[in-house]
Amino acid sequence: MTDRAKQMERAELHAHLWSSVSVELLWDLSHEQWIKLPVKDFDAFKAWITMWETDKNADIKEMDEKYFHWTELIQSSPTAVETAIKTTIWTNYRKSNLTLQEVRFNPMFRNKKWELDLDYIIVAAIHWLDYATLQYNKVKAWIVLCMDRRLSFRKNQIILEKAIKYKNRWIVWIDLSGPQSKDFSMEEHKALFDLAKQSWLWVTIHTWEEWSLEELKYVAEVIKPHRIWHGIMAVQDKKIIKALKKNDIVLELCPTSNLKNSKVKDLKELSHIIRTLLKHDIRLTLNTDWAVMYQINIIKEEDLLLENEIITETELNQMYKNAFDYSFVK
Ligand SMILES: [Zn+2]
């Protein structure tokens, strides 16, 4: 661990398992499972699976076919889930002193379109999370199961049922992820979020610029999840800010992700958004989202905000405090 990493313990609430495993390990895992990759050379694979410094890609469909599909396919077996969970937790601790980690994934994107039993995928994740935190006993970790806008209501309901089934075994959060889909209805899914809360699960929801301000407003005012990723559009509507504040909803901020895959133009706009949210006393946390794809870690995200004078050290510390306070990993 570097001296910089040792300076303080950190918490991260928003990291996807598919983009937490190193390129080298993804390459090894794909070969161990005899997966036919679209490229045959390691460097070409790395270029395929990561976004370069200058890349900006807001086309979620292209990303879906490229990054999401291949990384999730490579992680689609109990053995691959074992490697993914263990190495994610170990690496994040050793490199960035992340002593609190929430790792999220969608089990239905790891069961080879129903070839594998969902329970084995989930139990593999639970088991190896237990193991990883035993090996590095300073680390506390949870699993967040993700539902997805591209799945039917019934399939999302099954994911929620699994989260409820395993809720006392390292699964305490349910998320809704994925790009917008014409068949998806947030109103219809309200019943699932209500059931999750009644079942003592915590709720977090992805909202993105691609989706409408109306949907974010509905989420903040009616569904009232405990956290929203990343909800930065809230600065465009005072009513949403008011709802976030009133309902004590925490935002999971992912600066690099915002710059590369959102409609945030540049650092100036990012700064305006973060300063506005802080001015209104909205609770923020700092996260990487898709770390391996962007080739970042939480310390690089700190540097981005501090070196560009977007936040102060005190505000950064408060973001980590919020993450520890609002992860419910006690
Ligand atoms: Zn995310």
What confidence tens digit (pLDDT) does each residue in 189-225 have? Answer: 999 999 999 999 999 998 865 567 889 999 999 999 9
Q: Decide if pLDDT at 330 tops 50.
A: no
Report which of 114, 100, 99, 108 is spatially closest to residue 81, judged by C-alpha positions.
108
Distance 267 CA to ligand 1 centre (A): 20
Query: What mean pLDDT comes out for the span 113-141?
Result: 92
Distance 105 CA to ligand 1 centre (A): 10
Domain of residue 214, residue span: 3-327
Sheet of 250-253: strand order equals 10-16, 98-105, 140-148, 171-177, 202-207, 227-230, 250-253, 284-286
Q: How confident is the model at residue 315 (pLDDT cuts 50, 70, 90)?
A: very high
Under DSSP, the state recorded for 249 is P
Instruction: Report every protein residue that has its C-beta within 5 angstroms of ion ligand 1.
Output: 289
* Rounded average pLDDT over 58-68: 74
If one counts the domains in the chain, the total is: 1
Given a cut of 90, whether residue 249 has pLDDT beyond it is yes
Q: Quote the ligand 1 centre to 155 CA distance (angstroms).
A: 20
Ligand 1 center from residue 120 Cα (angstroms): 24
As a whole number, mean pLDDT of residues 144-161 equals 96
| Residue 290 CA, ligand 1 centroid: distance in Å | 7
Q: Find where tokens 């300073």 sit.
A: 138
Tell me how far the alpha carbon of residue 115 lies from the centroid of ligand 1, in angstroms.
26
What is the enclosing helix (H) or strand (E) of 96? helix 78-96
- Give distance in angstroms: CA of 304 to centre of ligand 1: 19
Percent of the chain with pLDDT over 90: 70
Whether pLDDT at 305 is above 80: yes
Per-residue confidence (pLDDT) for residue 230, from 0 to 100: 76
Q: Are 129 and 87 in contact (CB under 8 A)?
A: no
CATH of the domain at 112: 3.20.20.140
Report the separation in Å between the CA atom of 191 and the middle of ligand 1, taken as the mean of its atom positions. 22
Q: Return d(Cα 99, Cα 220) in angstroms, integer.
A: 29
Rounded distance from Cα 268 to ligand 1 centre (Å): 23
Structure confidence at residue 178 (pLDDT): 86
Q: How far is the CA of 15 from the centre of ligand 1 (A)?
A: 7
- Mean pLDDT for 141-169 is 95
pLDDT reading at 53 higher than 80: no
Q: Nearest Cα to 17, choosing from 124, 116, 96, 134?
A: 124
Dihedral of CA 197/254/95/35: which sign? positive
Question: How far, in Å, is the centroid of ligand 1 from the Cα of 90?
Answer: 20
Q: What's the token pair of residue 40?
A: 């045959």
- Whether residue 56 has pLDDT greater than 90: no
Higher-scoring residue by pLDDT: 254, 210: 254
Q: Which of 130, 98, 55, 139 is nearest to 287 (CA)?
A: 98
Task: Identify which has the larger pLDDT, 39 or 64.
Answer: 39
pTM of the model as a whole: 0.92
Local confidence band at 318 (pLDDT 50, 70, 90 cut-offs): very high
Predicted confidence (pLDDT) at residue 270 exceeds the cutoff of 60 = yes
